């Protein structure tokens, strides 16, 4: 990346964490919307030999300037680590719902025999049969994972529909950024990851529910980061901790990277039995995380 581009993106100015052994990198990316200047990226480094996790760097408020788009800046930051990223974790989907990319002749989803449609009909039968008025699913905006998270966990987790008004611009942006990259990528729902990580560290549920709240969000994020530090889960420099307390997008980028690390350690939930193989899945931690790396 050119000097002018780097200088326009806030990130830690300290020297990189020294390499004391083989390092495995995980990147979390929180996108801020189609043309917003809120995107943040966190670089997490794991040193297996020493069983240590470091937040190595945060890029905050990656923004468009002059004729250089924020999307290009994100792309070039990732290219700096070409071949050195184990997993990229995004807080948004980047693939269309299966129905929009299906090449088969469409009979309508009332008569479709595809696995994900049959799964959605079974889900609809089980969860909406007694509701009035009965609300039908829409497989061109929804995915099976959004329905699953809303009812099958310890609490309802309402993930925006992939092609809903809020998520569709993010999906388009993520797809555009990833089309030129060749990095293993997972989708993360930060709210759910924060919930599972926080509960495993005995953080109060009230804090976990309010991490984005305008009035008490900073205090909530401070408490979560405090527990991560006190349990020696990940080393975070003071300046980065302050940044994540002030900026929720930076905090969620870090949570995305942590979720990618937990995926590597086998501490994320697997797809439930019977979940359609053609459908996307969201990575999120197990209820009981084994933090012994």
Torsion on CA atoms 13, 19, 22, 27, rounded to nearest 10: -10
Predicted model pTM: 0.90
Hey, which residues does 268 pair with through a beta bridge?
285
Q: Using one digit for the tens of pLDDT, what is the confidence trace for 198-218?
A: 999 999 998 899 999 988 999
Delimiting residues of CATH 3.30.420 domain(s) in the chain = 3-95+164-283
Q: Using one digit for the tens of pLDDT, what is the confidence trace for 125-175?
A: 998 766 666 788 999 999 999 999 999 999 999 999 999 999 999 999 999
Hey, is 232 helix, strand or coil? coil
Please determine, for residue 263, whether its predicted confidence score (pLDDT) is greater than 80. Answer: yes
Please give the average per-residue pLDDT across 2-11, as a whole number: 38
Residue 33, pLDDT score: 63
Of the chain, the end-to-end C-alpha distance in Å amounts to: 34
CATH class of 3-95+164-283: alpha beta
34 or 61, higher pLDDT: 61
Q: Within the chain, where are the H helices?
A: 3-7, 70-80, 98-101, 115-128, 144-151, 168-178, 190-200, 205-209, 217-230, 238-246, 248-264
């Amino acid at each position: 990346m050119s000097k002018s581009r780097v200088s326009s993106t806030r990130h830690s100015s300290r020297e990189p964490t020294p390499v004391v052994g083989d390092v495995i990198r995980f990147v979390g990316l929180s996108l801020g919307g189609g043309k917003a200047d809120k995107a943040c990226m966190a670089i997490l480094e794991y040193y297996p030999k020493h069983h240590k996790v470091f937040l190595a760097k945060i890029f905050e408020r990656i923004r468009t300037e002059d004729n250089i788009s924020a999307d290009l800046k994100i792309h070039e930051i990732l290219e700096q680590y070409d071949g050195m990223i184990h997993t990229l974790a995004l807080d948004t989907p980047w693939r269309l719902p299966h129905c929009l990319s299906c090449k088969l002749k469409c009979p309508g989803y009332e008569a479709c025999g595809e696995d994900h449609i049959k799964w959605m009909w079974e889900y609809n039968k089980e969860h909406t049969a007694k509701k009035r008025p009965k609300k039908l699913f829409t497989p061109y905006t929804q995915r099976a994972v959004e329905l699953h998270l809303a009812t099958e966990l310890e609490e309802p987790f309402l993930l925006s529909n992939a092609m809903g008004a809020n998520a569709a611009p993010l999906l388009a942006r993520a797809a555009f950024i990833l089309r030129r990259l060749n990095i293993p990528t997972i989708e993360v729902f930060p709210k759910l990851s924060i919930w599972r990580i926080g509960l495993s560290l005995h953080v109060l549920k009230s804090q976990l529910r309010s991490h984005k709240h305008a009035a008490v969000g900073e205090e909530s994020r401070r408490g979560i980061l405090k527990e991560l530090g006190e349990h020696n889960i990940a080393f975070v420099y003071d300046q980065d901790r302050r940044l994540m307390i002030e900026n929720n997008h930076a905090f969620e980028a870090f949570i995305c990277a942590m979720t990618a690390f937990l995926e590597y350690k086998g501490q994320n939930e697997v797809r439930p039995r019977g979940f359609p193989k053609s459908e996307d899945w969201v990575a999120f931690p197990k209820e009981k995380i084994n933090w012994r790396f």
